[in-house]
Structure 1
Amino acid sequence: MQTNQSLLIQPQWRIIDQSSLGPIFEALQSFAIDDTLCTSVGAGNSPATARAWVHHNTIVLGIQDTKLPALEDGLKVLEELGYRYIVRNSGGLAVVLDEGVLNLSLVFPDSEKGIDINRGYDAMLQLTEDMFKDFPVKIEAKEIINSYCPGSYDLSINGQKFAGISQRRIRNGVAVQIYLCVTGSGSERAKVIRDFYNAGKREESKKFIFPEIEPDCMASLSELLGVSLTIQDTMLRFLQSLKNFSGRIYASQLEGDEIPLYESYFDRVHQRNEKVLKG
């Protein structure tokens, strides 16, 4: 077996498209769904699965964000700006989700020796490059320090970040997740998180370091590529790219044993979220 073969090359890809469910679809549901898929794929009950999802006006906080000295003041700013907020069950810091941000998850079975963490990130980078290969730009994977939720696999064009990648592992499954800022203003989204940190007294935190956000270092793909991309257009690019790597893709939803499993994971993430925010 080729250990360096791209994780995108799978016999088939199961596709779960939740990109047009609207405002009623909550971010906590997404985290429970990905945990469900990790378990299902990891147990060999499902092939590799790709999921697309959109959430409206939601700030996804990291656990570290809940340690801000004046968290309540920060959360009040988000509420006044019309955002809901949740705390995710994986690492990282605050990110903005809205109807112009497409989230993609790639869920793989972990191998006996374990998938090297960078292979998961590299697969998502490769997918993103393929999706936008018709544009004469170079997509770089490197940390954009003054962005929100900075990380070594921030994706940028000419130094402006449009995407961030994270990874979650559970029960022999690996979920690699990306948010793609497709439309709208990247700098306006960055200002929301900057205002949250300023109200939460980022600079007074003794224990944790929070980014000093410079809004101009973030942009959407529409801004960077100079075209009016839509979520639907980006979805077509996503599906076509996966088909290029696999040859067979098919549409699906949660089914069979995944449904009670999802309900269990949703209860768990919901309770954990309540506990963290109230604690």
Structure 2
Amino acid sequence: MANSKVKIFRYADTQYPKMWEKEAQIIEDIRASHLDQALQIYRCSENTLVLPSGRKWQATQDVVKALSDDGWSVLSRRSGGAPVPQTAGMLNVSHFYLWPEYSAYSVKQAYECLCHALTLFFESLGINVQPHATAHSFCDGDYNLNVDGQKIVGTAQRVLTVRKNRRLVLAQACILMSGDMQNVVRLRSI
């Protein structure tokens, strides 16, 4: 991309709803041609369970109270998938980019590009990761990154049409860095 407009946004400790506002602004900046791509890196300061849209996982009063009693807030997002816990021990990386103009969009290829970049990053740190589904993990998917069979990265993507039918890919990775994973695992029982 000649004269590409690129920006990195970093947020050390933030609340999850604020990230949706920041994400929406980045998308608008790409739509308006102020940016061609962006990298957003953030960590949430409070425990939040983010529920997907649909009827399978509802934020009922009982669920919200049980989670609140356990120190968690609950939010619902507009996309599908499964519930995703957010804690200060998780680093979120979102890459916003325009899909190549003369190439048909491919969900598989977009995931493979994200996993390849992350795999190279972990290899540079001497960590061998394998992309595959992870039995019994939260928000399981075919493009988790695993070390010795344990999930350390969950991935997701969202695609929007912008700029004369160009595809905007929002590729996301949630990297499990530290924290009380037993507290996260316990969410499965609520």
Structure showing the higher helix proportion among its residues: 1
Distance apart, 1:115 and its partner CA: 3.2
1:149 and 2:139 correspond: yes
RMSD of aligned alpha carbons = 2.5
Shift of 1:144: 1.3
One-letter amino acid matched to 1:194: R
Match of 1:83 in 2: 72
Distance (whole Å) between structure 2 residues aligned to residue 26 and residue 147 of structure 1: 24
Aligned equivalents of 1:33, 1:156: Cα separation in 2: 29
Contact 2:132 2:145 in 1 (8 A): yes
Q: Partner letter of residue 78 of structure 2?
A: N
Q: Is residue 108 from structure 1 mapped to residue 97 from structure 2 by the alignment?
A: yes
Q: TM-score, normalised by structure 1?
A: 0.58
Q: 1:98 aligns with which of 73, 87, 110?
A: 87
Aligned residue number for residue 268 of structure 1: none
Q: Which runs of 5+ in 2 are unaligned?
A: 163-167
Residue pair 1:51, 1:105 contacting (<8 A) in 2 also: yes
State the partner residue of 2:178: 183
Matches within 5 A, 1:26-65: 26-55=15-44, 56-64=46-54
Shift of residue 38 of structure 1? Answer: 2.7
Q: Structure 2 CA distance, aligned partners of 1:70 and 1:169? A: 25
Alignment: residue pair count:
182
Deviation at residue 164 of structure 1 after TM alignment: 0.9
C-alpha deviation, 1:171, in angstroms: 3.3
Gaps of 5+ in 1: 2-9, 197-279
Q: Report the CA distance between 1:120 and its aligned residue.
A: 2.4
Amino acid corresponding to residue 10 of structure 2 in structure 1: D
Aligned identity (percent) is 22
SS in 1 for 2:135: coil
1:136, CA displacement in angstroms? 4.0
Query: TM-score, normalised on structure 2?
Result: 0.83
Moved segments of 4+, more than 6 Å: none
Structure that is richer in strand per residue: 2
Match of 1:246 in 2: none
Deviation for aligned residue 1:80: 0.8
Q: Is residue 38–residue 109 contact of structure 1 (8 Å, CA) maintained in 2?
A: no
Matches within 5 A, 1:128-277: 128-172=118-162, 173-191=168-186, 193-196=187-190
Partners in 1 of 2:146 and 2:94 — Cα distance?
19
Say if 2:122 and 2:128, in contact at 8 Å, map to a contact too: no
